[in-house]
Structure 1
Amino acid sequence: MLVALLLTGAIWLFDIYLGKPHRAKEAKDPILVEYAKSFFPVILVVFLLRSFLVEPFKIPSGSMLPTLLVGDFIIVNKYTYGIRLPVVNTKIIEVNQPQRGDVMVFRYPEDPSLDYIKRVVGLPGDRVVYRDKRLTINGKPVAMEDRGEEFGYEKSGLNYVTAKRAYEQLGSHKHAVLLLPEFPSVRLGDVRAFPSRANCDYNEDGFSCTVPPGQYFMMGDNRDDSNDSRYWGFVPDRNIVGKAIMIWWHAREFVFVGMDLKRVGQMIN
Protein backbone atom coordinates (compact mmCIF):
# COMPACT_ATOMS: atom_id res chain seq x y z
CA MET A 1 0.00 0.00 0.00
CA LEU A 2 2.89 2.35 0.77
CA VAL A 3 4.30 1.75 -2.73
CA ALA A 4 0.91 2.55 -4.31
CA LEU A 5 0.63 5.70 -2.17
CA LEU A 6 4.10 6.93 -3.14
CA LEU A 7 3.62 6.07 -6.81
CA THR A 8 0.25 7.78 -7.27
CA GLY A 9 1.41 10.79 -5.24
CA ALA A 10 4.60 11.12 -7.30
CA ILE A 11 2.67 10.98 -10.57
CA TRP A 12 0.23 13.62 -9.36
CA LEU A 13 2.98 15.96 -8.14
CA PHE A 14 5.01 15.43 -11.32
CA ASP A 15 2.01 16.44 -13.38
CA ILE A 16 1.30 19.53 -11.25
CA TYR A 17 4.82 20.95 -11.50
CA LEU A 18 6.17 19.54 -14.77
CA GLY A 19 3.34 18.13 -16.85
CA LYS A 20 0.38 20.50 -16.69
CA PRO A 21 2.40 23.76 -17.24
CA HIS A 22 3.53 22.42 -20.64
CA ARG A 23 0.15 21.17 -21.85
CA ALA A 24 -2.40 23.19 -23.73
CA LYS A 25 -5.14 24.48 -21.45
CA GLU A 26 -7.84 22.58 -23.30
CA ALA A 27 -5.87 19.33 -23.34
CA LYS A 28 -7.12 16.51 -21.14
CA ASP A 29 -4.97 14.99 -18.43
CA PRO A 30 -3.19 11.79 -19.49
CA ILE A 31 -5.05 8.69 -18.35
CA LEU A 32 -2.25 7.75 -15.95
CA VAL A 33 -2.54 11.15 -14.27
CA GLU A 34 -6.32 10.82 -14.05
CA TYR A 35 -5.97 7.47 -12.28
CA ALA A 36 -3.35 8.88 -9.91
CA LYS A 37 -5.55 11.88 -9.02
CA SER A 38 -8.52 9.57 -8.41
CA PHE A 39 -6.77 6.92 -6.35
CA PHE A 40 -4.24 8.92 -4.34
CA PRO A 41 -6.76 10.45 -1.84
CA VAL A 42 -8.45 7.09 -1.29
CA ILE A 43 -5.16 5.26 -0.76
CA LEU A 44 -3.97 8.03 1.59
CA VAL A 45 -7.08 7.77 3.79
CA VAL A 46 -6.88 3.97 3.95
CA PHE A 47 -3.14 4.11 4.66
CA LEU A 48 -3.63 6.53 7.55
CA LEU A 49 -6.51 4.49 9.00
CA ARG A 50 -4.54 1.25 8.84
CA SER A 51 -1.36 2.84 10.16
CA PHE A 52 -2.74 4.75 13.14
CA LEU A 53 -6.29 3.61 13.95
CA VAL A 54 -7.51 0.12 13.02
CA GLU A 55 -6.51 -2.66 10.66
CA PRO A 56 -8.23 -5.92 9.66
CA PHE A 57 -6.42 -9.24 9.96
CA LYS A 58 -7.34 -12.79 8.98
CA ILE A 59 -6.59 -15.68 11.33
CA PRO A 60 -4.45 -18.22 9.41
CA SER A 61 -4.09 -21.04 11.95
CA GLY A 62 -5.73 -22.79 14.88
CA SER A 63 -3.26 -21.64 17.56
CA MET A 64 -5.88 -19.35 19.15
CA LEU A 65 -8.72 -21.88 19.23
CA PRO A 66 -11.35 -21.73 20.60
CA THR A 67 -11.24 -17.92 20.93
CA LEU A 68 -10.45 -17.37 17.24
CA LEU A 69 -11.26 -19.86 14.51
CA VAL A 70 -9.29 -20.39 11.31
CA GLY A 71 -10.63 -17.87 8.78
CA ASP A 72 -11.92 -15.33 11.30
CA PHE A 73 -11.45 -11.71 10.30
CA ILE A 74 -10.61 -9.49 13.25
CA ILE A 75 -10.17 -5.79 13.92
CA VAL A 76 -6.91 -4.67 15.53
CA ASN A 77 -6.66 -1.36 17.40
CA LYS A 78 -3.35 0.19 16.30
CA TYR A 79 -3.15 2.96 18.94
CA THR A 80 -4.00 1.08 22.16
CA TYR A 81 -0.32 0.50 22.92
CA GLY A 82 0.96 3.80 21.53
CA ILE A 83 1.16 5.72 18.27
CA ARG A 84 3.83 4.28 15.98
CA LEU A 85 5.31 5.46 12.70
CA PRO A 86 4.21 3.22 9.81
CA VAL A 87 6.69 0.86 8.18
CA VAL A 88 9.48 1.41 10.76
CA ASN A 89 7.02 0.78 13.64
CA THR A 90 8.83 3.27 15.92
CA LYS A 91 6.70 4.45 18.87
CA ILE A 92 6.34 8.24 18.99
CA ILE A 93 3.53 8.64 21.56
CA GLU A 94 3.09 6.45 24.64
CA VAL A 95 -0.53 5.47 25.39
CA ASN A 96 -1.01 2.17 27.26
CA GLN A 97 1.04 -0.92 27.99
CA PRO A 98 -0.10 -4.48 27.16
CA GLN A 99 -1.89 -6.23 30.01
CA ARG A 100 -2.02 -9.91 30.91
CA GLY A 101 -4.79 -11.58 28.96
CA ASP A 102 -4.78 -9.14 26.02
CA VAL A 103 -4.94 -10.71 22.56
CA MET A 104 -2.14 -8.97 20.68
CA VAL A 105 -0.87 -8.85 17.10
CA PHE A 106 2.89 -8.49 16.76
CA ARG A 107 5.71 -8.94 14.30
CA TYR A 108 7.19 -12.42 14.58
CA PRO A 109 10.66 -11.99 16.15
CA GLU A 110 12.31 -14.53 13.82
CA ASP A 111 10.80 -12.91 10.71
CA PRO A 112 9.36 -9.39 11.26
CA SER A 113 7.65 -9.51 7.85
CA LEU A 114 5.13 -11.95 9.40
CA ASP A 115 2.33 -10.90 11.76
CA TYR A 116 1.46 -13.29 14.61
CA ILE A 117 -1.42 -13.19 17.08
CA LYS A 118 -1.25 -14.66 20.59
CA ARG A 119 -2.38 -13.87 24.13
CA VAL A 120 -0.17 -11.84 26.48
CA VAL A 121 0.76 -14.15 29.35
CA GLY A 122 3.90 -12.60 30.81
CA LEU A 123 4.74 -8.92 31.31
CA PRO A 124 8.28 -7.54 31.75
CA GLY A 125 9.77 -9.00 34.95
CA ASP A 126 7.16 -11.76 35.33
CA ARG A 127 8.13 -15.32 36.18
CA VAL A 128 5.99 -17.54 33.93
CA VAL A 129 5.69 -21.26 34.65
CA TYR A 130 3.68 -23.80 32.63
CA ARG A 131 3.82 -27.34 34.02
CA ASP A 132 1.32 -30.19 33.86
CA LYS A 133 -1.06 -28.01 31.81
CA ARG A 134 -1.28 -25.32 34.48
CA LEU A 135 -0.03 -21.76 34.20
CA THR A 136 1.58 -19.99 37.16
CA ILE A 137 2.68 -16.34 37.16
CA ASN A 138 4.98 -14.95 39.85
CA GLY A 139 4.31 -17.97 42.04
CA LYS A 140 0.51 -17.66 41.87
CA PRO A 141 -1.48 -20.31 39.93
CA VAL A 142 -3.75 -18.79 37.29
CA ALA A 143 -7.40 -19.59 38.06
CA MET A 144 -8.81 -22.27 35.76
CA GLU A 145 -12.31 -23.79 35.63
CA ASP A 146 -12.87 -27.22 34.08
CA ARG A 147 -16.51 -27.72 33.06
CA GLY A 148 -15.93 -31.09 31.42
CA GLU A 149 -16.37 -29.66 27.90
CA GLU A 150 -14.75 -31.09 24.79
CA PHE A 151 -13.77 -29.35 21.55
CA GLY A 152 -12.94 -31.17 18.31
CA TYR A 153 -10.91 -29.85 15.37
CA GLU A 154 -8.72 -30.99 12.51
CA LYS A 155 -5.00 -30.75 13.21
CA SER A 156 -3.13 -29.79 10.02
CA GLY A 157 -6.00 -31.17 7.95
CA LEU A 158 -4.88 -34.73 8.74
CA ASN A 159 -6.09 -35.83 12.14
CA TYR A 160 -9.27 -35.08 14.04
CA VAL A 161 -8.30 -34.17 17.59
CA THR A 162 -10.54 -33.94 20.65
CA ALA A 163 -9.35 -31.42 23.21
CA LYS A 164 -10.55 -30.48 26.67
CA ARG A 165 -11.91 -26.95 26.91
CA ALA A 166 -11.30 -25.10 30.17
CA TYR A 167 -11.75 -21.47 31.25
CA GLU A 168 -8.84 -19.37 32.43
CA GLN A 169 -8.76 -16.01 34.23
CA LEU A 170 -5.76 -13.89 33.18
CA GLY A 171 -5.98 -10.43 34.70
CA SER A 172 -9.41 -9.05 33.80
CA HIS A 173 -9.82 -11.50 30.91
CA LYS A 174 -11.73 -14.76 31.27
CA HIS A 175 -11.31 -16.89 28.19
CA ALA A 176 -11.44 -20.49 27.01
CA VAL A 177 -8.31 -22.55 26.41
CA LEU A 178 -7.81 -25.94 24.80
CA LEU A 179 -5.79 -28.67 26.49
CA LEU A 180 -4.64 -31.86 24.77
CA PRO A 181 -4.04 -34.54 27.43
CA GLU A 182 -1.92 -36.69 25.12
CA PHE A 183 0.37 -33.77 24.15
CA PRO A 184 3.32 -32.58 26.29
CA SER A 185 3.24 -29.16 27.93
CA VAL A 186 6.24 -28.22 25.78
CA ARG A 187 7.78 -29.99 22.79
CA LEU A 188 11.43 -29.91 23.84
CA GLY A 189 12.69 -30.73 20.33
CA ASP A 190 11.06 -27.56 18.95
CA VAL A 191 12.69 -25.12 21.38
CA ARG A 192 15.11 -22.82 19.52
CA ALA A 193 18.13 -20.81 20.66
CA PHE A 194 16.41 -17.43 21.03
CA PRO A 195 17.65 -14.15 22.64
CA SER A 196 17.56 -14.33 26.47
CA ARG A 197 17.18 -18.11 26.26
CA ALA A 198 19.16 -18.26 29.53
CA ASN A 199 16.07 -16.77 31.27
CA CYS A 200 14.20 -20.05 30.72
CA ASP A 201 14.42 -23.55 32.14
CA TYR A 202 12.87 -26.52 30.30
CA ASN A 203 12.17 -30.12 31.26
CA GLU A 204 9.68 -32.82 30.29
CA ASP A 205 7.01 -31.41 32.63
CA GLY A 206 7.07 -27.91 31.12
CA PHE A 207 9.08 -24.73 31.46
CA SER A 208 9.69 -21.59 33.50
CA CYS A 209 10.80 -18.22 32.07
CA THR A 210 11.60 -14.79 33.48
CA VAL A 211 10.48 -12.11 31.03
CA PRO A 212 13.22 -9.54 30.23
CA PRO A 213 12.57 -5.77 30.55
CA GLY A 214 10.63 -4.30 27.63
CA GLN A 215 9.51 -7.70 26.35
CA TYR A 216 6.46 -9.98 26.58
CA PHE A 217 5.75 -13.70 26.81
CA MET A 218 3.01 -14.85 24.41
CA MET A 219 1.01 -18.07 24.29
CA GLY A 220 -1.83 -19.35 22.13
CA ASP A 221 -5.18 -20.32 23.68
CA ASN A 222 -4.75 -23.69 21.97
CA ARG A 223 -2.13 -24.33 24.64
CA ASP A 224 -0.63 -27.61 23.53
CA ASP A 225 -0.76 -26.98 19.78
CA SER A 226 0.58 -23.41 19.44
CA ASN A 227 3.88 -22.13 18.10
CA ASP A 228 4.56 -19.39 20.64
CA SER A 229 7.09 -17.89 23.08
CA ARG A 230 7.88 -21.33 24.50
CA TYR A 231 9.69 -22.12 21.27
CA TRP A 232 10.98 -18.85 19.74
CA GLY A 233 11.25 -16.53 22.74
CA PHE A 234 10.06 -13.12 23.88
CA VAL A 235 8.36 -10.34 21.92
CA PRO A 236 10.10 -6.92 22.16
CA ASP A 237 7.95 -3.83 22.55
CA ARG A 238 9.17 -2.59 19.14
CA ASN A 239 7.45 -5.60 17.48
CA ILE A 240 3.97 -4.76 18.78
CA VAL A 241 1.34 -4.04 16.10
CA GLY A 242 -1.84 -3.63 18.14
CA LYS A 243 -4.59 -5.14 20.28
CA ALA A 244 -7.23 -7.44 18.78
CA ILE A 245 -10.60 -6.06 19.82
CA MET A 246 -13.33 -7.60 17.66
CA ILE A 247 -14.29 -10.51 15.39
CA TRP A 248 -16.07 -8.76 12.53
CA TRP A 249 -16.47 -11.58 10.01
CA HIS A 250 -16.27 -15.33 10.01
CA ALA A 251 -16.03 -16.34 6.36
CA ARG A 252 -16.33 -20.11 6.78
CA GLU A 253 -19.62 -19.96 8.67
CA PHE A 254 -21.03 -17.49 6.13
CA VAL A 255 -20.10 -19.58 3.11
CA PHE A 256 -21.03 -23.02 4.38
CA VAL A 257 -23.62 -22.79 7.12
CA GLY A 258 -24.72 -19.17 7.19
CA MET A 259 -23.50 -16.35 9.39
CA ASP A 260 -23.31 -16.96 13.11
CA LEU A 261 -24.67 -13.64 14.36
CA LYS A 262 -23.27 -14.27 17.83
CA ARG A 263 -19.73 -14.25 16.43
CA VAL A 264 -20.02 -11.37 13.97
CA GLY A 265 -19.11 -8.24 15.92
CA GLN A 266 -18.07 -10.27 18.98
CA MET A 267 -15.56 -8.56 21.27
CA ILE A 268 -12.38 -10.51 21.98
CA ASN A 269 -11.57 -11.27 25.63
Structure 2
Amino acid sequence: MADNTTTTKPEESLETSRPKRSELREFVEMIITTLIMALFGITFVVRSVNVPTGSMNNAIYSGDFLLVNKFIFGYEGGLPLDGFTPHRPIRRGDIVVFKFPQSEDQNYVKRVIGLPGETIEIRGQRVYIDGKELPETRIIAENDLTDGGRLNVLEEYPAEGAQWNVYYRPGSDFEYDDREDEPLAEVPLPSGRYRDYKNEPHYGIGRPFKIPEGCYFAMGDNRDNSLDSRYWGPVPRDHVIGRPLFVYASFDPSPHASLGERLGSFFSKGRWKRLGALVK
Protein backbone atom coordinates (compact mmCIF):
# COMPACT_ATOMS: atom_id res chain seq x y z
CA MET A 1 0.00 0.00 0.00
CA ALA A 2 1.31 3.34 -0.95
CA ASP A 3 2.13 5.76 1.80
CA ASN A 4 -0.14 8.78 1.24
CA THR A 5 1.35 10.88 4.06
CA THR A 6 2.89 14.07 2.88
CA THR A 7 5.62 16.02 4.48
CA THR A 8 5.45 19.73 4.84
CA LYS A 9 8.36 22.07 4.70
CA PRO A 10 9.05 23.36 8.17
CA GLU A 11 8.28 27.05 8.60
CA GLU A 12 11.19 29.34 8.81
CA SER A 13 11.93 30.65 12.25
CA LEU A 14 10.96 34.20 13.18
CA GLU A 15 14.60 35.18 13.42
CA THR A 16 15.38 34.08 9.87
CA SER A 17 12.17 35.51 8.37
CA ARG A 18 12.86 39.03 9.63
CA PRO A 19 15.94 41.04 8.75
CA LYS A 20 18.24 41.67 11.66
CA ARG A 21 18.77 45.26 12.76
CA SER A 22 22.36 46.34 12.73
CA GLU A 23 24.06 47.14 16.02
CA LEU A 24 24.65 50.70 14.80
CA ARG A 25 20.93 51.20 14.16
CA GLU A 26 20.04 49.86 17.60
CA PHE A 27 22.60 52.18 19.20
CA VAL A 28 21.26 55.23 17.33
CA GLU A 29 17.67 54.37 18.32
CA MET A 30 18.72 54.02 21.95
CA ILE A 31 20.46 57.42 21.90
CA ILE A 32 17.43 59.10 20.29
CA THR A 33 15.05 57.53 22.82
CA THR A 34 17.27 58.61 25.71
CA LEU A 35 17.47 62.17 24.39
CA ILE A 36 13.69 62.37 23.98
CA MET A 37 13.13 61.11 27.53
CA ALA A 38 15.74 63.52 28.91
CA LEU A 39 14.22 66.44 27.00
CA PHE A 40 10.75 65.55 28.30
CA GLY A 41 12.06 65.31 31.86
CA ILE A 42 13.95 68.62 31.70
CA THR A 43 10.97 70.38 30.10
CA PHE A 44 8.14 69.10 32.30
CA VAL A 45 9.45 67.25 35.36
CA VAL A 46 12.87 68.30 36.71
CA ARG A 47 15.42 71.06 36.34
CA SER A 48 18.93 71.73 37.60
CA VAL A 49 19.70 74.99 39.44
CA ASN A 50 22.95 76.33 40.88
CA VAL A 51 22.79 78.62 43.93
CA PRO A 52 25.56 81.24 43.72
CA THR A 53 24.57 83.39 46.74
CA GLY A 54 24.05 82.83 50.46
CA SER A 55 20.52 84.26 50.76
CA MET A 56 19.13 80.86 51.80
CA ASN A 57 21.86 79.83 54.25
CA ASN A 58 21.72 77.45 56.05
CA ALA A 59 18.80 75.62 54.43
CA ILE A 60 20.74 75.88 51.16
CA TYR A 61 24.45 76.67 50.92
CA SER A 62 25.86 78.96 48.27
CA GLY A 63 27.57 76.61 45.84
CA ASP A 64 24.81 73.98 46.05
CA PHE A 65 23.49 72.39 42.86
CA LEU A 66 19.80 71.53 43.23
CA LEU A 67 17.44 69.20 41.42
CA VAL A 68 14.10 71.01 41.10
CA ASN A 69 10.68 69.35 40.88
CA LYS A 70 8.76 71.32 38.23
CA PHE A 71 5.72 69.04 38.48
CA ILE A 72 4.67 69.44 42.12
CA PHE A 73 2.79 72.75 41.85
CA GLY A 74 1.08 71.92 38.56
CA TYR A 75 0.44 74.68 36.07
CA GLU A 76 -1.11 78.10 36.37
CA GLY A 77 -4.84 77.79 35.73
CA GLY A 78 -4.79 74.03 36.22
CA LEU A 79 -5.21 71.14 33.81
CA PRO A 80 -8.05 68.58 33.48
CA LEU A 81 -5.78 65.87 34.96
CA ASP A 82 -4.66 67.91 37.97
CA GLY A 83 -7.15 66.12 40.23
CA PHE A 84 -5.55 62.75 39.41
CA THR A 85 -1.90 63.78 39.62
CA PRO A 86 0.30 64.61 42.65
CA HIS A 87 0.00 68.39 42.30
CA ARG A 88 -0.61 70.63 45.29
CA PRO A 89 -0.94 74.36 45.95
CA ILE A 90 2.03 76.48 47.01
CA ARG A 91 2.12 76.63 50.81
CA ARG A 92 3.67 78.99 53.32
CA GLY A 93 7.17 77.76 54.11
CA ASP A 94 7.76 76.17 50.70
CA ILE A 95 11.17 76.89 49.20
CA VAL A 96 10.55 77.75 45.55
CA VAL A 97 12.59 78.46 42.45
CA PHE A 98 11.18 81.29 40.34
CA LYS A 99 12.03 83.67 37.53
CA PHE A 100 13.21 86.99 38.96
CA PRO A 101 10.46 89.54 38.16
CA GLN A 102 13.02 92.21 37.21
CA SER A 103 14.92 89.91 34.84
CA GLU A 104 13.18 86.71 33.83
CA ASP A 105 16.37 85.10 32.54
CA GLN A 106 17.59 84.84 36.17
CA ASN A 107 16.35 82.19 38.59
CA TYR A 108 15.96 82.95 42.30
CA VAL A 109 15.49 80.60 45.26
CA LYS A 110 13.52 81.87 48.29
CA ARG A 111 11.02 80.74 50.91
CA VAL A 112 7.32 81.59 50.58
CA ILE A 113 6.29 83.71 53.57
CA GLY A 114 3.07 85.42 52.47
CA LEU A 115 0.19 84.01 50.41
CA PRO A 116 -2.16 85.74 47.94
CA GLY A 117 -4.57 88.19 49.56
CA GLU A 118 -2.77 88.26 52.92
CA THR A 119 -1.43 91.39 54.57
CA ILE A 120 2.21 91.22 55.62
CA GLU A 121 4.14 93.56 57.88
CA ILE A 122 7.79 93.28 58.92
CA ARG A 123 8.87 94.90 62.17
CA GLY A 124 12.58 94.33 62.60
CA GLN A 125 13.19 90.61 62.90
CA ARG A 126 9.51 89.74 63.30
CA VAL A 127 7.01 89.07 60.53
CA TYR A 128 3.26 89.55 60.93
CA ILE A 129 0.64 87.96 58.70
CA ASP A 130 -2.81 89.56 58.93
CA GLY A 131 -1.73 91.10 62.23
CA LYS A 132 -0.54 87.83 63.80
CA GLU A 133 3.16 87.13 64.37
CA LEU A 134 4.58 84.37 62.19
CA PRO A 135 6.52 81.84 64.29
CA GLU A 136 10.14 81.66 63.11
CA THR A 137 13.22 80.49 65.00
CA ARG A 138 15.56 83.50 64.86
CA ILE A 139 19.29 82.77 64.89
CA ILE A 140 22.22 85.17 65.24
CA ALA A 141 25.02 83.81 63.06
CA GLU A 142 28.25 84.74 61.30
CA ASN A 143 30.02 83.49 58.18
CA ASP A 144 32.02 80.30 58.54
CA LEU A 145 35.71 81.09 58.00
CA THR A 146 36.41 77.65 56.53
CA ASP A 147 33.41 77.60 54.17
CA GLY A 148 31.97 80.85 52.82
CA GLY A 149 28.77 79.07 51.83
CA ARG A 150 27.39 78.52 55.32
CA LEU A 151 26.78 80.25 58.64
CA ASN A 152 27.89 79.44 62.19
CA VAL A 153 25.24 79.74 64.90
CA LEU A 154 26.02 82.13 67.79
CA GLU A 155 22.65 82.60 69.49
CA GLU A 156 19.26 81.00 68.98
CA TYR A 157 15.78 82.26 69.81
CA PRO A 158 13.28 79.41 69.38
CA ALA A 159 9.62 80.14 68.69
CA GLU A 160 6.75 77.79 69.45
CA GLY A 161 5.33 76.36 66.23
CA ALA A 162 8.28 77.51 64.09
CA GLN A 163 8.95 75.25 61.11
CA TRP A 164 12.09 76.94 59.74
CA ASN A 165 15.05 79.03 60.88
CA VAL A 166 15.95 82.57 59.86
CA TYR A 167 19.41 84.09 60.31
CA TYR A 168 20.62 87.60 61.24
CA ARG A 169 24.06 89.13 61.66
CA PRO A 170 25.33 90.05 65.15
CA GLY A 171 24.05 93.51 66.02
CA SER A 172 21.26 93.40 63.47
CA ASP A 173 18.50 95.89 64.30
CA PHE A 174 15.39 94.34 65.79
CA GLU A 175 13.17 97.20 64.65
CA TYR A 176 13.09 99.38 61.55
CA ASP A 177 12.02 103.00 61.72
CA ASP A 178 8.34 103.71 61.15
CA ARG A 179 7.82 104.43 57.43
CA GLU A 180 4.23 105.65 57.49
CA ASP A 181 5.33 108.99 56.01
CA GLU A 182 7.10 107.39 53.02
CA PRO A 183 5.29 106.82 49.69
CA LEU A 184 4.50 103.19 49.00
CA ALA A 185 6.54 101.56 46.22
CA GLU A 186 4.66 100.71 43.05
CA VAL A 187 2.72 97.43 43.10
CA PRO A 188 3.32 94.88 40.32
CA LEU A 189 1.81 95.47 36.92
CA PRO A 190 -0.51 92.79 35.44
CA SER A 191 2.41 91.56 33.33
CA GLY A 192 4.36 90.79 36.49
CA ARG A 193 6.89 93.59 35.97
CA TYR A 194 7.52 96.41 38.42
CA ARG A 195 7.85 100.17 37.99
CA ASP A 196 9.90 100.88 41.08
CA TYR A 197 12.97 99.01 42.31
CA LYS A 198 14.96 100.35 45.26
CA ASN A 199 18.21 99.37 46.94
CA GLU A 200 16.66 99.18 50.40
CA PRO A 201 13.80 97.06 51.78
CA HIS A 202 10.47 98.75 51.25
CA TYR A 203 7.53 96.37 50.76
CA GLY A 204 5.87 95.58 54.11
CA ILE A 205 8.63 97.26 56.13
CA GLY A 206 7.17 99.15 59.09
CA ARG A 207 3.64 99.12 57.70
CA PRO A 208 1.15 96.61 56.26
CA PHE A 209 1.36 95.54 52.62
CA LYS A 210 -1.46 93.57 51.01
CA ILE A 211 -0.18 90.83 48.73
CA PRO A 212 -2.01 90.92 45.38
CA GLU A 213 -4.06 87.92 44.28
CA GLY A 214 -2.00 85.47 42.25
CA CYS A 215 1.25 86.57 43.94
CA TYR A 216 3.48 85.38 46.80
CA PHE A 217 5.77 87.21 49.22
CA ALA A 218 9.14 85.40 49.18
CA MET A 219 12.08 86.01 51.52
CA GLY A 220 15.51 84.48 52.04
CA ASP A 221 16.30 82.67 55.29
CA ASN A 222 19.51 84.71 55.59
CA ARG A 223 17.50 87.87 56.19
CA ASP A 224 20.38 90.37 56.33
CA ASN A 225 21.81 89.06 53.06
CA SER A 226 18.81 88.50 50.82
CA LEU A 227 17.44 90.51 47.91
CA ASP A 228 13.80 89.45 48.07
CA SER A 229 10.18 90.61 48.07
CA ARG A 230 11.00 93.27 50.64
CA TYR A 231 12.94 95.05 47.88
CA TRP A 232 11.13 94.32 44.61
CA GLY A 233 7.68 93.13 45.65
CA PRO A 234 5.72 89.86 45.45
CA VAL A 235 6.34 87.00 43.00
CA PRO A 236 3.63 86.34 40.38
CA ARG A 237 2.39 82.74 40.35
CA ASP A 238 3.32 82.20 36.72
CA HIS A 239 6.96 82.99 37.56
CA VAL A 240 7.24 79.99 39.90
CA ILE A 241 9.24 77.15 38.32
CA GLY A 242 9.12 74.50 41.04
CA ARG A 243 10.41 73.27 44.37
CA PRO A 244 14.00 72.08 45.06
CA LEU A 245 14.20 68.41 45.98
CA PHE A 246 17.78 67.70 47.02
CA VAL A 247 21.42 68.65 46.56
CA TYR A 248 23.18 66.60 43.88
CA ALA A 249 26.51 68.47 44.05
CA SER A 250 28.07 71.17 46.21
CA PHE A 251 31.42 72.93 46.50
CA ASP A 252 32.85 76.20 47.79
CA PRO A 253 34.94 77.85 45.06
CA SER A 254 36.70 81.15 45.63
CA PRO A 255 34.68 83.99 44.04
CA HIS A 256 37.87 85.41 42.48
CA ALA A 257 39.20 82.14 41.09
CA SER A 258 39.64 81.47 37.37
CA LEU A 259 37.50 78.92 35.55
CA GLY A 260 40.26 76.31 35.74
CA GLU A 261 40.74 76.93 39.45
CA ARG A 262 36.99 76.66 40.02
CA LEU A 263 36.85 73.33 38.21
CA GLY A 264 39.82 72.09 40.22
CA SER A 265 38.22 73.23 43.47
CA PHE A 266 35.29 70.92 42.80
CA PHE A 267 37.47 68.08 44.06
CA SER A 268 39.51 69.97 46.66
CA LYS A 269 36.57 71.92 48.12
CA GLY A 270 33.71 69.56 47.35
CA ARG A 271 31.14 69.26 50.13
CA TRP A 272 30.67 65.53 49.80
CA LYS A 273 28.43 65.33 52.88
CA ARG A 274 25.95 67.64 51.14
CA LEU A 275 25.27 65.16 48.34
CA GLY A 276 21.71 63.91 48.60
CA ALA A 277 20.75 66.45 51.31
CA LEU A 278 17.02 67.15 51.17
CA VAL A 279 15.85 70.76 50.84
CA LYS A 280 13.23 71.68 53.44
Deviates more, 1:101-110 or 1:246-255: 246-255
**Aligned position for 2:141:** 150
Across the aligned residues of Structure 1 and Structure 2, the Cα RMSD in angstroms comes to 4.1
Summarize the alignment of residues 169-208 of structure 1 with structure 2, pairs less than 5 Å apart. 174-180=163-169, 181-182=171-172, 193-195=186-188, 202=202, 206-208=206-208
Structure-2 change in CA distance of 1:226 and 1:212 (3 Å): same
Deviation at 1:119, TM superposition (A): 0.3
Distance 2:99 2:203 in 1: 28
Deviation at 1:138, TM superposition (A): 1.7
Q: How many residue pairs are counted as aligned between the two chains?
A: 222
Distance 1:195 1:136 in 2: 21
Q: Contact 1:131–1:185 at 8 Å: present in 2 too?
A: yes
3-state DSSP of counterpart to 1:231: helix
**Aligned position for 1:228:** 228
Question: Structure 1, residues 196-224: CA drift from partner, whole Å, max 9, x if none?
Answer: 689xx959964532111111110011112
Summarize the alignment of residues 1-269 of structure 1 with structure 2, pairs less than 5 Å apart. 40-82=32-74, 84=75, 92=79, 94=82, 95-146=87-138, 150-152=141-143, 166=156, 174-180=163-169, 181-182=171-172, 193-195=186-188, 202=202, 206-252=206-252, 255-257=267-269, 259-261=271-273, 263-269=274-280
Identity %, equivalent residues: 28
What is the TM-score with the length of structure 2 in the denominator?
Answer: 0.64
Deviation at 1:242, TM superposition (A): 0.3
Q: From the two aligned structures, give the one with the greater helix fraction.
A: 1
Structure 1 portions without partners, runs of 5+: 1-34
Distance 1:74 1:46 in 2: 17
Q: From the two aligned structures, give the one with the greater strand fraction.
A: 1
What is the TM-score with the length of structure 1 in the denominator?
Answer: 0.67
Q: Contact 1:163–1:179 at 8 Å: present in 2 too?
A: no
Distance 2:212 2:203 in 1: 21
Structure-2 change in CA distance of 1:71 and 1:132 (3 Å): same
Structure 2 portions without partners, runs of 5+: 1-26, 196-200, 253-264
Larger Rg: 2
